[in-house]
Amino acid sequence: MTTEPVSPVRRRGRPRATERADTRERIHHAALELFAERGFHATGVAEIGAKADVQRGALYYHIGSKEDLLWAILRDYTRLLLADAERIIEAHADPVETLTRLIRSHVELIVTHRRAVAVHLRDADALTHEHAVVLQQLRDRLQRHWQDVIDAGHAAGHLRTADHIVTNGLLGMLNSLGYWYRERGPHSPAEIADILTDTILSGLRATDDNTEG
């Protein structure tokens, strides 16, 4: 029932694993684009099928429901952020260097996955309770990693405070990129990361040490 070319080696009428994976990826990609553009509620399953070039019957073979697609998008994106943070933390740099790397990598992931960020910011409330709980656990783990790094920086005397307000505000600042980042803006993601890192670490106030030029 899919519109994929029929492979001569297909057996028992079921698509092969690689074809199934391709189809699933097309469906996920279509859902991500439509959810990011119009919102979860305003997107119909039929539109996702049309965009992915998959018929309705096959669509339900590959995915369970529209909510399952939303869950897959938000889960995959949050797991990606988490794996990336864990990789950076495991390198055991000093806390300020680790924080700098976390900010830079977070900015790059947000820019790369800004459609998932937009869906996250807008439509996370549409998850089932069960999925919302698991997503919150993943986000809490991520936030705890950032907090641990900031705590370590404070304990070592390199950071002035480790208040949770700062961690929340910092992550809020970075996540807001999902709203205001423009592909054709004057700065690359790396430059944006540098500007935000400087703002967070050194502040905006001019001092003898940080005055430009």
Residues making contact with its own copies (CB under 8 A):
38-39, 41-42, 96, 121-123, 125-126, 150, 153, 157-161, 163, 165-166, 168-177, 179-180, 187, 191-192, 195-196, 198-207, 210-212
- Candidates 171, 66, 182, 173; CA nearest to 128 is 66
Residue with tokens 């979860």, as numbered in its chain: 40
Nearer Cβ to its own copies (41/87): 41
Q: Rounded to an integer, what distance in angstroms lies between the CA atom of residue 213 and that of residue 211?
A: 7
Least separation in angstroms between residue 11's CB and its own copies is 43
Nearer Cβ to its own copies (112/210): 210
Least separation in angstroms between residue 85's CB and its own copies is 18
Query: Which residues are within 8 A (CB) of 97 and not within 5 positions of it... i.e. 6 or more apart?
Result: none
Nearer Cβ to its own copies (63/170): 170
Least separation in angstroms between residue 30's CB and its own copies is 18
Least separation in angstroms between residue 16's CB and its own copies is 38
Nearer Cβ to its own copies (10/160): 160
Beta bridge partners of 14: 11
Collapsing DSSP to helix, strand or coil, 184 comes out as coil
The amino acid present at 152, given as its one-letter code, is A
Least separation in angstroms between residue 6's CB and its own copies is 39
Nearer Cβ to its own copies (88/170): 170
Span between the terminal Cα atoms of the chain, in Å = 64
- Candidates 36, 43, 76, 80; CA nearest to 59 is 43
